A and B are shown apart, each in its own frame.
Chain A
Amino acid sequence: MSAFLLCFAAWSAIALGMDRHHEDATGREGAARSLQQLRRTGWLLLLLSLWLAAHPAGSVPASLGVTAWAVALSVAAVAVTAAVTWQPRRTPLLAGMALVAGLGAWAWGW
């Protein structure tokens, strides 16, 4: 669950770092620098979620954790595509909520 939420936040950041989606979401063109920062944040978040997934809590083997992460990665990508297609304005908000919820879910061991 935390893997999905973190991946969602990460993909959103990457999407918002792209010209087209940034314009759809905010209504104006983003500066090249901030776009690049968004994309970098996204990639770092993806790496963080992978690292967390590779160290699962309890008796779950790491192989299953990483497999579940790979699944969450794709599900989150589909979800972000849906978000930027049908709710572009709310995507930044959703991403922020996903980030907070994802860290919370990880802290609770979900």
Chain B
Amino acid sequence: MTRITAPSCQPVDRASASTASEQTRKAKPPKAPSDREGFRQAMSWLHTWAGLILGWLLFAIFLTGTLSFFKNEFNLWMRPEMHGLQPVEAAAPQVAQTAQRALDALVRKVPNVTQWIMHLPDDRDPAVNILWRDTGNGRFETLRMHPQTGEAIDTRQTMGGDFFYRFHFELRTAQKGRWTLQGRWVVGVATMLMFVALISGVITHRRIFKDFFTFRPTKGGQRAWLDAHNVTGVLVLPFYLMITFSGLMIFHTLYMPAGIATAYQGEKGVDSNAYFADLQGEKAESRPRRGLGDKVEPLPAIALPPILAEARTRWDGGRIGSVQARRDAKGRAVVEVTRHEGDRLQYRPPRLLFDATTGQWLDQADATGPAVKTYGVLYGLHMARFADVGLRWALFGFGVLGSLMIATGMVLWSVKRSATSQTQASRKGAAANTDAVTKAPFGERLVAAINIATLAGLPLACGVYIASNRLVPLNVEGRADVELAWFFSAWGLALLWALACAVVRPSRMGWSVPLGAAGLVWALLPVINALTTHTHLGTTLPAGEWVWASMDLAFLATGLLLGGLSWRLRPGRAPRGKAAATKAQRTTPVAALPAASDVSASTSGA
């Protein structure tokens, strides 16, 4: 028998693989008293399981949220009909002319409009976007208009970047919202667990501040995964704490409705509208809630230029974000001018109220109380509407790092457990000398499968969604939902593939195929774009239209990155280095393990 007794084998493995510096660190007597160690163990348990249970969902939320930083750019790119619109100068009277032209066009189209909200063009969105309705309380219709001519732009039906945005906070599965409240609750629970995982993670990985800049990808195995998890975790920690906490705060009224229910008792039950009006520093009667069948008088003719000019003087030349008109509770037509969201950190921007017929200034609405201001700042930090291009890319990078932190955490769970079960198996002598694949327990295989389906499947699904925007014929019924069907089908296929590769019949193809497919789709996006539209790199690069061109270039870069990852994980590659460590641990001979078992001790405690 070649069986070695476990106690003698374990320390040798550790010593051979750790460096001298690590040994000295281990040799130090533990300073902490034992109850602190117990606390850390408990936090480690909490971190592991809070992270695992909703980790996959968190990855999806984090990644789509990251993409949402470029929501407007996605919206633009996925509507190539909007290409070629000339930007409107924010400072000049052109803005007022643009607004008036769009309003005239709207009134020509819908003479008895009762309410409209007009988003004026800015440097991220060149069109005039109007939401309007001609009923008391019906659904708003959307209209996009040419900023110079006021003509409606006929765009393809798509959710564009709004899908990522909506999926991010309410797990939206259809263009017209369904299960949105339930979705928000699920996301809220996941966010809470993220917060728990962040705080317990700081306690668990206590060395992160000592090892602040330490990343050792060449060490391979679990060490490299742990380094990657710690480094992506700690360097951007302020961002994670901010984004998670503010994410929780945004929907505080959903999670904790009791306060409103107590303080805002109206005649017809709870009047949450009054609460929100107070929150935003408004008078509730300026924005009345109407029943579905209520008759509302159409709006009178409105002259916008004098109103907008006065708004600008009152804000010392600040930018105007949007304008809206409606009838207040007394039936008076009012115009509300909202300042541009990029002008300050705090969300929502201040608003000015004017009489629609006389153009007279009535009121200023803005959050005032310190708690409300704090809420606004948290909200603003989360939405990052203030960010210019450079800051936006940096935040996007943080989002990617956060997704990587979650991803490496999930992989660590698998790597660590398969390392343990391999060691156990080798102790039993089952696979000590053979290269035979040891089958991991069902639970571990299931986690491995869902890891593949989420971490590799979601990038694939996102790529397929964007591709479908170009490939689905324009006249298909319910086109926006067809695009979403592509997204969810791709994700579902990835799940089936992962289950087949990891649960039913373990195979090393699991990671490389969906990642390779994702890389292919993303890298092909510029090509598909060139074949189906005129807004491809061939025209946008020479014209210096960087918003359009950088989308294509970013898609290409994403594709190359995913492709490279898939190449590193391909079957047959020697199971060394960090990439191979993902799946290698389960399927490789025990010889590869010492490097892994050396750190398994330091993950849990150190």
B-binding residues in A (CB < 8 A): 11, 14-15, 18-21, 61, 63-64, 67-68, 70-75, 77-78, 80-81, 84-85
Contacts and interface: CB of A to CB of B under 8 A. Distances in A.
Interface of B: 21, 210, 212-217, 231, 235-236, 238-239, 344-346, 377, 381, 386, 391, 394-395, 397-398, 401
16 contacts: A11-B213, A20-B21, A64-B345, A67-B381, A70-B238, A70-B239, A71-B394, A74-B236, A74-B238, A74-B398, A75-B394, A77-B212, A77-B236, A81-B213, A81-B215, A84-B213
B219 to A, nearest CB: 11
A30 to B, nearest CB: 14
B345 A63 contact: yes
Given A61-B345, A75-B397, A77-B235, A67 B386 contact: yes
A87 to B, nearest CB: 12
Given A67-B345, A75-B394, A81 B235 contact: yes
A81 B231 contact: yes
B344 A64 contact: yes
A71 B395 contact: yes
B573 to A, nearest CB: 22
Contacts of A73: 238
A71 B21 contact: no
A74 B235 contact: yes
A15 B231 CA distance: 14
A84 B398 CA distance: 20
A71 B391 contact: yes
A68 B386 CA distance: 10
Given A64-B386, A73-B238, A74-B236, A80 B213 contact: yes
A19 B213 CA distance: 12
B344 A63 contact: yes
B213 A18 contact: yes
Contacts of A67: 345, 381, 386
Contacts of B215: 81, 85
A77 B233 CA distance: 12
A15 B235 CA distance: 13
B344 A61 contact: yes
A68 B393 CA distance: 12
B389 to A, nearest CB: 12
A15 B212 contact: yes
